[in-house]
A and B are shown apart, each in its own frame.
Chain A
Amino acid sequence: MSTPHDAIVIGGGIGGLVAAAYLRQTGASVVLLEADEALGGACRKAAMLYALDPRVVKELALTRRGLKFSQRDMTLVALRQDGRHLVLGRDPHEAARAVAAYSPADAAAYKHYHSEVFALARAMRPWWWDDTAAPEHVPAKLKAMSAHAYLASHFETEALKSALAFDAAQPLAPGSALALVWRAAQETCGLQGAMAMPEGGGAALAGALIAAAKEMGAEFRTKARVKALILDGNAAAGVALDSGETVFAPVILSSLSRRATFLDLAPAASAGFAETHRLMREMQTEKETFVALTLNAAPTLGGAQLAQAARFVIAEGEPVLEAAVAASASPGQYNLWIRAKGTPSLDAVIAQLERFTPLLRSRIVGSESVTRDVARAQLLKPARERIATPIEGLFLCGGEAEPVEALSGRAGRLAAALATAYTARRKKP
């Protein structure tokens, strides 16, 4: 048993690191417990950022701590087998011209679609970013519509629809149309709906976050797997570790999913009987696979004329994936980052890419592949319901506490704020 802390953070991914840093800013003593040997979690595997909260970047001084971007606004390039690649840049007029090559009707619809989604995104943003009341008007059709159906209501070209649908994790799921709006509500590098690439990939973001939390005085413990939550009545009191050790604090922030937090760590039925049964029925279905290839020559995805400042989406055939290229730190080497939907084998991913960049296999000097679960989207749930739990003093700060799981840091920031408010309430006589 150690001296009690003010707060325990379970998990050292982006949510946990951001939460620990913000809690330290309020003066709370924080210990972060990570089961793995290294901090950073999923953050280390991702190459592209599209949801990073600009306030987190600013308030935690991530730029000063080494977060730099090599690409700030990557153009979407939908690769086509027939060679007629579709290039969708920031300028909607230019993008419409590119679409016109496929369908003049879609070109006209594109501007309308773009302005509709961006306007909706601005209206929904406070709801997704902060702990605010629900927006007054969410179009009913979007609440129930799938991304696929929403796009089909605007466009006729399959290439365009499938390229845009990539941004929804499950484009056929009811309500996933809002995921497209959510994506447009993001503001990475000061640009609405932009996708950026940090220098050094997600590891650079992880490094900056670790530095921030560390410099602020958060205590880190790796290889410290939490076995169970310890409660005092219905209030958080601490955690028991696999090692048998106990750590005490009246506030616990968990980066794990609600299901894992309540079914694996919390006492039986502490989520409520009906909620516990709902969590037991909840099945994890969505997975995504990150692949990082190291190449000894630049890949020629989509032909040499396409800028490297692009993210390539391959939506024809399986697996569906997006890819981006960056020069490696080692001279003469390149990194090819891939995020594929589902659980394709490394071989299948390479075969899919080779349709657009021949001889890829012969250029690979290193590869790494990791598959992970994608938390289900909760686009219509208020922040408080995503973050707060039936156990007093227990908050969620991981991917599942976001409207859509993403490296945004928002859940950690909001969870820290809710936890701080809880602590203030608790201390009041």
Chain B
Amino acid sequence: MTSIRATPFHGRAAASNVLNLWQPRAGWTLAERYGDADEEALAARLTCAMADITWRSRIVIEGARAQEFLARLVTRDPAALEPGTAFKALWLSDQGGVRGAGVLARHGRETFQLVSAASDLDWIARGAALFDLRVREVLEEEGMLAVVGPYAAKVLEAAGLDPALEPLTLRKLFWRGLDVTLSRFGEHGGYEIAAKADDAPLVWDRIAKAGRPYALRPAGLAAMDILDIEAGVPRPGRDYTPASGGFDAAPTPFELGLESLIDESHTLFNGRAACLAAPRTRTRVGIELDGDTPMPHAPLLRSGSEVGHTLHSLYSPALRRAIALAVVDNAAAAPGTVLTCGGVSARVVEVPFLAHPSTSSG
């Protein structure tokens, strides 16, 4: 990424970012935190938070053969998608290495959008060219705001948006003069509102205003990372290095604990044979560390010998301890297994660490 872009919400984010703490992500400038990251993460769990997620890669795939191409690209069959619905899936290299994970949404018969944490535009565009398809990445022209937390639905309702929407679906709305897309793709049980760049500040203002009675606060990247790890979601770049070569065999979906995103009965997807034949000797687990000090990318030992390593690690304000995602040998993956990491005791637990904050509209 050569340039650092400001998102359409930047003006509003800057006004709230009293500490002036920014962080680059995927070429965008985003607030690292607006105040205290732990408080922002707790707000998402206990009340409500909103976050600028414009940094997500959003690739639009359009054309008569879009479904045929996507059946080759992703690990589930897009023929099953009705317009307005979505599924989570992976895409793999020829040799079964995970290149990316994301949500594939069907906007129309011949239009799909792939939303993911890291762009793989080159791979997707080169593949799509074999099917005479148009592929483009949505950048500054559209902003995306996430609203998460138990009161997210209430906030939307108060703002005049009907929150009755199933997870992994989307709806295009005309919202008091604005064209927006409301979706529920996220890992944290909330909503996303996508709007044109010019309308984005209005979306921010409306949600902020409607959220005031519910103690809604903006959450920065640090807080969203806390939610991700608590939800047990590994992210490319932060937790693992995705396959970048077309024939890379690593990382496998199994060691990342992403095998649930593979539909084995879908016979067409790229890298299927290699992926299903790959050894399944390691798996992804959660680690609860003794103490408050995170141990990112550190070896995990059992009786002195290495049985795996942590991925990203951070302090979870909800669990009041440091936690980590980790890849370990199957023999050390049983919940309750006690390992050591950097001299402190580390206990294997199931992921997610915490269920996502429930959203009640009643």
Contact = CB atoms under 8 A, between A and B. Distances in A.
Interface of A: 233-235, 268-270, 272-278, 390
A275 B270 CA distance: 10
A273 B127 contact: yes
B240 interface: no
A274 B267 CA distance: 18
Nearest to B93: A274
Contact of B94 (A234, A235, A272): A272
Interface string B251-281: 0000000000000000110111100000000
Given A234-B267, A234-B272, A269 B131 contact: yes
B246 interface: yes
B246 A274 contact: yes
Contacts of B245: 274
Nearest to A273: B127
A233 B267 contact: yes
Given A269-B69, A273-B94, A234 B268 contact: yes
A278 B245 CA distance: 12
A110 B65 CA distance: 61
B10 interface: no
B18 interface: no
Contacts of B246: 272-275, 277-278
B247 A274 contact: yes
A176 B271 CA distance: 31
Interface string B41-83: 0000000000000000000000001001100110000000000
Interface of B: 65, 68-69, 72-73, 93-94, 123, 126-127, 130-131, 245-247, 267-268, 270-273
Contacts of A276: 130
A275 B130 contact: no
Given A270-B72, A273-B130, A274-B245, 10 more contacts: A233-B267, A234-B267, A234-B272, A268-B69, A268-B131, A269-B270, A272-B246, A274-B94, A274-B246, A276-B130
29 contacts: A233-B268, A234-B267, A234-B272, A235-B267, A268-B65, A268-B68, A268-B72, A268-B130, A269-B72, A269-B127, A269-B130, A272-B94, A272-B270, A272-B271, A273-B72, A273-B73, A273-B123, A273-B130, A274-B245, A274-B246, A275-B94, A275-B246, A275-B247, A276-B130, A277-B126, A277-B246, A278-B246, A390-B94, A390-B273
Contacts of B123: 273
Contacts of A272: 94, 246, 270-271
A274 B68 CA distance: 17
Nearest to B266: A233
A273 B245 CA distance: 11
Contacts of B69: 268-269
Contacts of A278: 246
A270 B127 CA distance: 11
A343 to B, nearest CB: 31
A8 to B, nearest CB: 20
Contacts of B73: 273
Contact of B126 (A233, A270, A273, A275): A273
A268 B70 CA distance: 12
Q: Which of B65, B93, B130, B273 has the most CB of A within 10 A?
A: B130
B94 to A, nearest CB: 4
A350 B83 CA distance: 69
Chain B CB within 10 Å — which of A234, A268, A272, A390 has the most?
A272
Contacts of B72: 268-270, 273
Interface centre among A233, A234, A270, A274 (most CB of B within 10 A): A274
Contacts of B65: 268
B183 to A, nearest CB: 27
Nearest to B272: A234
B107 to A, nearest CB: 22
Contacts of A273: 72-73, 94, 123, 126-127, 130, 246, 270
A9 B294 CA distance: 61
Contacts of B131: 268-269
A265 to B, nearest CB: 14
Contacts of B270: 269, 272-273
A270 B245 CA distance: 18
Contacts of A274: 93-94, 245-247
Contacts of A268: 65, 68-69, 72, 130-131
A270 B267 CA distance: 11
Nearest to B126: A277
Contacts of B68: 268
Nearest to A268: B130
- Which of A269, A273, A275, A390: most chain B CB closer than 10 A? A273
A268 B65 CA distance: 11
